[in-house]
Amino acid sequence: MRRLLGSTKEDVEVVDSFDRLNEILAHVDTLLGEFQDDAEEYFKKFKMEYPSGSPSDPLSDEYAKFQSALYRRIANKDYHVSSETTSFDVEQKAVCPCPYDGGSTAIVGRHFILIGHLLQHLDLRQGAKVLEFGSGWGNTTLALATMGFDVTAIDIEPNFVNLIRRRCERQGVSVNAVVGDFSKIHSLQESYDAIIFFECFHHCSDHLGLLKGCYDRLKDDGRLVLSAEPISPDFDVPWGLRLDGQSLWAIRRFGWLELGYREDYFVPLMRALGWDIEKFTLPTFEWAPTFVARKGRNISLDRTYSPDKLLTRVGILRVDGALAASGSKGWLCYGPYTRLEPGRYRARFGVTMSAGSRGTIEIDACHDSGRRILSKSRFKAREIAASDISFIDLAFDLDRYVEDLEVRMHVPKGTDLAIRELRIDYRMMEIP
pTM confidence score: 0.84
CB atoms within 10 A of CB 66: 18
Output the pLDDT for position 2: 43
pLDDT at 3 over 80: no
Per domain, the residue ranges of the chain are 87-238+256-295, 303-424
Q: Read out DSSP for 89-104?
A: -HHHHHHS-TTGGG--
Q: Which of 40-49, 269-278, 305-314, 413-422 has the lowest mean pLDDT?
A: 40-49
Give the model's confidence band at 389: pLDDT under 50 very low, under 70 low, under 90 confident, else very high: low
Q: Which of 1-15, 28-42, 193-207, 382-396 has the lowest mean pLDDT?
A: 1-15
Output the pLDDT for position 358: 81
pLDDT above 70: percentage of residues in the chain: 94
Q: Do domains 87-238+256-295 and 303-424 have the same CATH topology?
A: no
164-172 contacts at long range (C-beta below 8 A, 24 or more positions apart): 164/135, 164/138, 166/90, 166/91, 166/94, 167/94, 167/97, 167/138, 167/142, 168/142, 170/94, 171/142, 171/145, 171/146
Q: What is the mean pLDDT of residues 174-183?
A: 97
Buried b / exposed e along 265-278 (16+ C-beta atoms within 10 A): bbbbbbbebebbbe
The CATH-assigned architecture of domain 303-424 is Sandwich (2.60)
Q: Report whether 411 contacts 417 (CB < 8 A).
A: yes
What one-character DSSP code corresponds to residue 56? Answer: S
Give the model's confidence band at 300: pLDDT under 50 very low, under 70 low, under 90 confident, else very high: low
CA distances from 391 to 132, 347, 352, 363, 394 (A): 48, 10, 8, 12, 10
pLDDT in tens, 42-97: 888 899 999 999 999 999 999 999 999 999 999 999 999 988 988 899 999 999 99
Sign of CA dihedral 354, 359, 363, 368: negative
pLDDT in tens, 327-343: 999 999 999 999 998 98
Give Cβ neighbours of residue 404 (< 8 Å, ≥ 6 apart): 337, 338, 339, 367, 368, 369
Q: Which of 21-25, 83-87, 161-165, 229-233 has the lowest mean pLDDT?
A: 83-87
Give the model's confidence band at 391: pLDDT under 50 very low, under 70 low, under 90 confident, else very high: confident
Helical (H) or strand (E) element with 166:
helix 158-171
Give the model's confidence band at 98: pLDDT under 50 very low, under 70 low, under 90 confident, else very high: very high
Give the model's confidence band at 324: pLDDT under 50 very low, under 70 low, under 90 confident, else very high: very high
CATH: 3.40.50.150, 3.30.70.1230, 3.40.50.720, 2.40.50.180. Which one for 87-238+256-295? Answer: 3.40.50.150
